Amino acid sequence: MLTEAVHTYLALRRATGFALRCEGIQLKSFAAFSETRGHHHVSSELAIEWAKLSPSVSQRARRLGTIIRFARYLRVEDPRHHVPSPIFGPEKLPRPTPYILTEDHIRQLIDAASRLGYRTLRRATYSTLFSLLACTGLRVSEAIRLRFDDITADGLVIRRSKFRKSRLVPVHETARAGLERYLHQRRTYAPFNDHVFVSLRRKPLRPADVDAAFRTAATHIGLPHGRGHARHTPHSLRHAFAVRALQTCPDGRDAICRHMVALSTYLGHSNVANTYWYLEAVPDLMRDIAEHAERFATGGRP
């Protein structure tokens, strides 16, 4: 009975766009675990026992969370299913504090990338890539998968990115001009590969390549890091874009709501809560919120 319920549940969730690869394996494992013990309904005790088979507390929390969601789905129609309590704590650890690059830092990183490394296409590749990440907020994985046909008159087509969603990202004319200058140089370097960004191997960039180039540039300009500082990565360019976009948000409840929804869509977030996270993760934005709240409390305009 549980095995059949797992197949029905997975089919329903996947039809709505969820991949559920690991979760599917876990649910099938739990169903087999329960049925070998003669249980055909979700049991809190067995769910906790099964989750404890993982070596770490964080893994146990994720496994139990999968069963909790499954049990809630089943209990709607059959109260014999028990919904376990999340005794191992939250499934997800707190998100790390983002490293927010200043505009000066971004300019220095791009300049360093344009001067470091071999006197080949490498310099143009990384200076252009970092510029694109900074002015569009793309994920690194999205940028390195771009192909020639994805650069359109309306913007960049981001195809089936994270959460299997596609979107169109408008770009400023200066960004488009920078891409064209790079492509003029890049097309002759690897004419049989249609990826926008390529390595010296004439193949698409790998995330590890981008990480290494970013670290080299960050070290060259002396970007603060280590104890007392958040960790800077290429993703910091995306964080910086999101924060700048939030800082330009107009006043007014309706305007703020529209701005947040638009930014969430632009960034490709699956949930607008991921965009609101920046408000509590960045001290500058928290200070802005506090100042607006104080003015409102004292009778001034928020």
Q: For residues 288 and 279, what is the distance between their CA atoms, to the nearest angstrom? A: 9
pLDDT at 287 over 90: no
Tokens of 67: 């069963």
The distance in angstroms from the start CA to the end CA of the chain is 57
Q: Where are the beta strands (DSSP E) in 179-279?
A: none
pLDDT tier at 162, thresholds 50, 70, 90: low
pTM: 0.72
Find all residues with CB under 8 Å of 244, minimum gap 6, and list them. Answer: none
Residue 167's SS3 state is strand
More confident position, 46 or 291: 46
Query: In whole angstroms, what is the distance from residue 112 CA to residue 214 CA?
Result: 10
Residue 19 or residue 252, greater confidence: 19
Mean pLDDT of the chain: 88
Question: What residues act catalytically?
Answer: 139, 162, 235, 238, 269, 278
For residues 123-144, average pLDDT:
95
Arithmetic mean of pLDDT, 106-121: 89
For residues 299 and 187, give the distance between their C-alpha atoms in angstroms, rounded to a whole number.
60
Above 60 in pLDDT, residue 65? yes
Residues 6+ apart with CB under 8 A from 17: 163, 164
pLDDT digits (tens, 9 = 90+) for 5-48: 999 999 999 888 788 889 999 999 999 999 999 999 999 999 99
Contacts for 298 with CB less than 8 Å, ≥ 6 apart: none
In whole angstroms, give the CA distance from residue 262 to residue 266.
6
Candidates 266, 247, 212, 225; CA nearest to 105 is 225
Tokens standing for 220? 């060259």
Do the beta carbons of residue 128 and residue 135 sit within 8 Å?
no
Higher-pLDDT residue of 122, 96 = 122
